[in-house]
Structure 1
Amino acid sequence: MEQVNVELVASRSLIATSEARYRLAVESAKDYAIFTIDLSGRITGWNSGAQNLMGWTEEEAIGAPANLIFTPEDDRNAIAETEMRLAVTEGRGEDDRWHLRKDGSRFWANGLMMPLRDDEGGLVGFLKILRDRTDAKRAAEHQALLVNELNHRVKNTLATVQAFTTQTLRSAASMNEARESITARLIALAQAHDVLTAENWDGADLAQIVADALRLHGGDGQRCQWQGNAVRVSARIALAVSMMLHELATNAIKYGALSNATGTVTVTWTMREAGSDGTDAKLRLSLRWEERGGPPVTPPTRSGFGTRMIERGLANELGGEVRLSYEPTGVICTLDIPLEMG
C-alpha cells in the first residue's frame, strides 16, 4: 500500500513538473499567440503572446468562443469550424488571413491549428498558434502597388515621349532644333522622375517641383521667384506641372521675360475648398505663372506643341482648367485643378 502511494505521489509530481515546463515554454513564446480550444470551440488556455497580440487578457479570453478573433466575413463562413475539421482530418489546419484584435483593428497572421489528444488518443481539444505577419503583408501589398504604378507610369512616360517627339519633329525648322527641343524635354521629364523616385513615387513637394523646373532653365532668386502653401502633390500632378513649367520657361527664354536681362517670372500657388454646398468641399490647387519686364508680347499666330500640351493635354490629364493669356506686359498662365495629395 505504501509503495502504491509513493508511486502515485511520484506520478503526480512528474505530471506537475511536465505541466509547469509546458506552461513555461508557452509563456516564453511571446512572439507567438498560443491558445487552446475545447471541443465546443471555447478558449481554455491563453498565453501572454496572445494577450500582447490581440489585447484580451487571459481572464477575458478563457471561456469565450474562439471565433472572437475572426473577422465578420470569416465568421459567417465558419472558418473556425473549418480549421478544426482540417486539424482532425489532416492533422493540422494552416492558413494566412486577417484576424481581429480587441480594439477592432485587424492584423494579418499565419495560423496553425493542431488537435490535442489524451494518452489514449482521444480528441480533447485544439491548439492554435498565430504569428503576426502584418508588416510582411503590408510590404507585399505596397510592392505590388509600386509595380502596378510603375507599369502605368512607364506607359504614360513612353506616350508622353512619343507625343512630344512626334510633334517636335513635325514642327521643328531643322534637325538641330528638333534634337535640342527633344533633349530639353527629356531632361525636364527625367528631373521630375528623380524627385519622385527619391520619394518612392508617393508624391512630391510642390515647391521643390517648381524650384527645380525654374533652376533647370537658369532661374535664380532675382529673376525667378516662387511662393505658395506647403503642399505635397501626387506623382501625376508633379509630372504634369513639371512639364508645364518646362514649356513655359522654354518659351520665356526664347521670346519672353527671360529672353532679356531685366524680365522676371513669378510662380505662386494656393489651395482652396470648392464644394456645391460646403458639406462636400474638396481641395483645389490654383497655380499662376506670370511674366513681367520682357519684350512686348503679341499672341502667337499658331499654337505650337507646348501650347497645345498646356491648354488641352494638361487640362484633360488633371481634370481641371488651364488658361494662357498673352498680355502685352507678359505671358500669364493659370492652372486650376482638383488637388491630389501625395
Structure 2
Amino acid sequence: MAKHETEAQGLGTQVRQPEVGADIDYRALVSAVRDYAIFMLTPEGVVASWNDGAQRIKGYAPSEIIGKHFSVFYPPEVVKTGICEYELAVTSAEGRFEGEGYRVRKDGTQFWANVIITAVRDATGRLLGFAKVTRDLTERRLSEEALRESEQRVRLLVENVRDYALFMLDPEGRVASWNVGAERINGYSAQEVIGSSLARFYPPEDVRAGKPDLELRVASETGRFEEEGWRIRKDGTRFWANAILTAIRDANGELRGYAKVVRDLTERRKGDEERLRLIQAQEAVRLRDEFLSIAAHELRTPLTALLLQLQSMEKAKRSSPGPALRSARRLAGLVEMLLDVSRIATGRLELSKEDVDLVQLARDAIDRYSDEARRVGSEVLLEGDASVRGSWDALRLEQVFANLVGNALKYAAGSAVTIRVSGRDGEASFEVQDRGPGIGAEDLSRIFDRFERAAPSRHYGGLGLGLYIARQVVEAHGGTIGVHETPGGGATFSVVLPRA
C-alpha cells in the first residue's frame, strides 16, 4: 500500500483507493437500515442478535428477545405444525429458505411477512447459525436491514444474504464493500467493482442527467433516498430495481458514507405490466359486449316491425315476400344471438324450467329444419328412446337443438344427420351426428368460444356464436357438451343433462 501511495504522489496527486478485504464497518452498514429485521439464530434456532429494524417490526427490545427461540414470532397454531423445525432443516440442507406467512409481534398483532433464512458456515463448512431477514409486507414497503451483533456475525450475515445487494459507499459515492447478493444481482465481483463510482450501475441517460449525484445529495441532506428505476448489469442488460440509499453518520454527525440496499424487481414489474394488459383487454371486451347489446336492442324493434309487415304481405298474398322474409328471419336470429351473448356476459341468462320431453324437442327441430334439409340434400333422422322427460327450459334447449342441427346442415350439406336421444337414471343425453368433413384436432379446444368457428367465415356465414350459446345453455342446466370425430368421417356433438 505504501508503494502505491508513493507512486500516486509522484504523479502530483495523492490517491487512496479502498482495498478488497479491508475492514468495513459492517455494523454501521446494517444498523443504519431500519426497514428490515435482520438477526442471527444459533443452529438450534435461538435468537443470538437483534437489530433496530427487528425491534421496530416485531416490537421486542434486544434484552427481551435475545436467547429466546424464534418460534415466538409465529402464531401458536402454525408452531404446532412444525414449521420452525422445517424451515431450519430446509435451510441447513439447501443453504436458504424463503417463504411468506403471518408472523406475531410482541403485542400479539399479526402481520404478513416475507422471510429469507440463510445458513451461515465457516471456512470448514461448519454451521455457525442462520442469518434471518424479515420484511413486513403488510404495507408493501421495502425495508432497511440492520443488526446489533459482533463485527464477525455482521460480516457473515452481510456476506451470505443473496437476494439483496447490500454494499457501502464512501462519502464521494465510491463502492467500499460488496456482498454476494450485489454480485449476483449486478454481475460484478468485489475485485471488479470496489472503488468504482455509483454511476457505474446506471443507464447512460441517467448518468448524463446527474441522477447518481442527485441521489447522494438528497440522502446526505435528508438522511435517506428511495426510488425504483432501471439499473445496468455487468453484461449490459437492464433490470428494474428498488433502491434505498441511507446516509451513515458518526456520533458527531460527520458523514462516513452511505448504505445501499438494492432489490431486483424485474419479475414483479413484468407481472404488473401483464396485469395491466389483462385489465385493458377485459375493458375492451366489456366495451365490445356493451356495444353488441346496444346494437342488438336497437335493431330488434325495426326488425320486429319488418317481420310483421312481411308476414302480413305473405298472408294477404299481395306479393311474394319469401326471400325477404327468410332474410329478415335470419337477421332476427342473429340479433337474438347477440342479445343472448349480452345476457351471458352480464350473468342474466335465466332458465324457466318445466316438464319437457327431450324427444319432442328433437322432433320439433327436425320439423323446423325440414325445408333447409331438403334444400341442401340432407336427411335428418331420429333414433333412441320414445320419450325422455326431465325438468329443463324448453326454449333454451330448442336453441341448442337448433344450433347443432343447423350447423350439421351447414357444414355437412348433402350427408345424413342423425339425432339420438336416450335417458337413464337421473340423466338424459342426446347426440347430433353428421357425415361431413369433421373438425380438425387443432380446432376442438376453441369452437365453443365466442366468435370462433372451425371453418373460415368466407366459406360459411354466421357469427360463430351458436356453439358458444349452446355450451352456456347446457352448462346453465348443470350439463356438459362436447364433440368428437364420427367414425368414418364427420362430427358428433354430445350433450348430457341432469333430469332435475
TM-score by length of 1: 0.51
| Counterpart for residue 36 of structure 1 | 168
Q: CA deviation at 1:101?
A: 2.0
- Check conservation: 1:87, 1:93, Cα contact below 8 A: yes
- Cα shift readout 1:192-248 (whole Å, capped 9, x = no counterpart): 99xxxxxxxxxxxxxxxxxxxx86955466336345988x99xxxx86x53xx5xxx
Partner amino acid for 1:185?
A: L
Partner amino acid for 1:44?
A: A
Partner amino acid for 1:184?
A: M
Q: CA deviation at 1:42?
A: 1.8
The separation in 2 between residues aligned to 1:156 and 1:78, in whole angstroms, is: 47
| Counterpart for residue 47 of structure 1 | 179
- Cα shift readout 1:32-59 (whole Å, capped 9, x = no counterpart): 1111112332211110011111211222
- Cα shift readout 1:61-106 (whole Å, capped 9, x = no counterpart): 2122212221223222222111111111111111122222222222
**Closer/same/farther in 2, CA of residues 221 and 125 from structure 1, 3 Å limit:** farther
1:225-236 correspondence to structure 2 within 5 Å = 225-227=438-440
| Counterpart for residue 323 of structure 1 | none
- Cα shift readout 1:222-280 (whole Å, capped 9, x = no counterpart): 336345988x99xxxx86x53xx5xxxxxxxxxxxxxxxxxxxx825xxxxxxxxxxxx
The separation in 2 between residues aligned to 1:81 and 1:152, in whole angstroms, is: 44
Q: Would you say 1:58 and 2:190 are equivalent positions?
A: yes
The separation in 2 between residues aligned to 1:136 and 1:229, in whole angstroms, is: 34
1:264-303 correspondence to structure 2 within 5 Å = 267=455, 288-289=458-459
| Counterpart for residue 72 of structure 1 | 204
**Closer/same/farther in 2, CA of residues 121 and 54 from structure 1, 3 Å limit:** same
Partner amino acid for 1:223?
A: G
Deviation above 6 Å: which 4+ runs of structure 1?
14-17, 189-193
- Check conservation: 1:34, 1:49, Cα contact below 8 A: yes
Q: CA deviation at 1:120?
A: 4.2
The separation in 2 between residues aligned to 1:145 and 1:21, in whole angstroms, is: 46
| Counterpart for residue 235 of structure 2 | 103
Q: Would you say 1:92 and 2:224 are equivalent positions?
A: yes
Structure 2 gap ranges (5+): 1-22, 28-148, 309-328, 347-402, 409-432, 464-500
The separation in 1 between residues aligned to 2:191 and 2:294, in whole angstroms, is: 67
Q: Would you say 1:146 and 2:278 are equivalent positions?
A: yes
| Counterpart for residue 244 of structure 2 | 112
The separation in 2 between residues aligned to 1:288 and 1:50, in whole angstroms, is: 59
Q: Would you say 1:185 and 2:338 are equivalent positions?
A: yes
Partner amino acid for 2:257?
A: G
Partner amino acid for 2:167?
A: F
Q: CA deviation at 1:112?
A: 0.7
Percent identity over the alignment is: 27
Partner amino acid for 2:438?
A: Q
**Closer/same/farther in 2, CA of residues 138 and 190 from structure 1, 3 Å limit:** farther
- Check conservation: 1:109, 1:133, Cα contact below 8 A: yes
- Check conservation: 2:290, 2:342, Cα contact below 8 A: no
- Check conservation: 1:115, 1:125, Cα contact below 8 A: yes
| Counterpart for residue 155 of structure 1 | 287
- Check conservation: 1:33, 1:130, Cα contact below 8 A: yes
| Counterpart for residue 413 of structure 2 | none
| Counterpart for residue 435 of structure 2 | 222
Partner amino acid for 1:289?
A: H
Q: Give the number of equivalent residue pairs.
A: 215
Bigger radius of gyration, 1 or 2?
2
| Counterpart for residue 283 of structure 1 | none
Q: CA deviation at 1:116?
A: 2.4
Q: Secondary structure at the match of 2:157?
A: helix
Partner amino acid for 1:98?
A: W
**Closer/same/farther in 2, CA of residues 81 and 15 from structure 1, 3 Å limit:** closer
- Check conservation: 1:99, 1:106, Cα contact below 8 A: yes
Q: Secondary structure at the match of 1:114?
A: strand
The separation in 1 between residues aligned to 2:248 and 2:406, in whole angstroms, is: 74
TM-score by length of 2: 0.37
**Closer/same/farther in 2, CA of residues 32 and 146 from structure 1, 3 Å limit:** same
- Check conservation: 2:224, 2:247, Cα contact below 8 A: yes
Q: Secondary structure at the match of 1:96?
A: strand
